[in-house]
Amino acid sequence: MSRSVSHSKKTQALAFWLELLAFMALLALRGWKLHESALSDYDAAKNWAILQEMCEGVFRDLFHHSSPTFYLILLPFAKLFGSFLAVEYVLIFCNTFAVWLMVRLFSQAWKLEKWQQIILFLLVGSSTFLVVSARYLSIESLSLLFFAFSLHFYLKYLASQGKYWWQLCLMLALAFTTN
């Protein structure tokens, strides 16, 4: 019996490290050669300009694109690091975490085994659209993150017959004011 428990713990530990390795691999894929790039388009440049103004205390464009949450979440990173690359790395992490959370939610619904979940995470997480959109200084990554959290709390709300209502409302409010 103790041998079975020991084997189970080793399997869980291995799955944890493999999942962490997959997460790190997807972070590396999204961040590969990012330091050699510039802002990708007009929206990214405008968003960075607005963040720079906000770092100086000018908040006149806080509601540009009706996205105050986007700017308020990224403002501390822009202020602290002073580089659009640092903000893009934050968005890369948000994107990767959102993909991980979505895959986890769907894996639970589909009753996938852990190794299947990791493979699904690598497949979905390495899709061209998700990799490229993670590298933009725009609303996609935070929107995906808040959508994933909204789905998470919605499923918890359904399962608990009414609990998690406020968490769901908060995530939806953040999602709607980010995008």
Helix axes 165-178, 140-160, angle to 10 degrees: 160
The pLDDT assigned to 5 comes to 65
The pLDDT assigned to 3 comes to 62
Cα–Cα distance between 135 and 109 in angstroms, integer?
Answer: 29
The pLDDT assigned to 127 comes to 97
The pLDDT assigned to 24 comes to 98
The pLDDT assigned to 40 comes to 85
Cβ atoms within 10 Å of 44's Cβ, excluding its own: 18
Q: Exposed e or buried b for every residue in 122-159, given b needs 16+ CB within 10 A?
A: beebeeeebbebbbbbbbbbbbbbbbbbbbbbbeebee
- What are the domain boundaries of the chain? 16-178
Mean pLDDT in each 10-residue stretch from start to end of the chain (179 residues)? Answer: 70 95 98 92 94 97 90 97 96 98 97 97 97 93 96 95 92 92
Residues 6+ apart with CB under 8 A from 45: 39
The pLDDT assigned to 43 comes to 92
Asked if 50 and 159 touch (Cβ cutoff 8 Å), the reply is no
Rg, the chain, Cα only: 19
The pLDDT assigned to 162 comes to 82
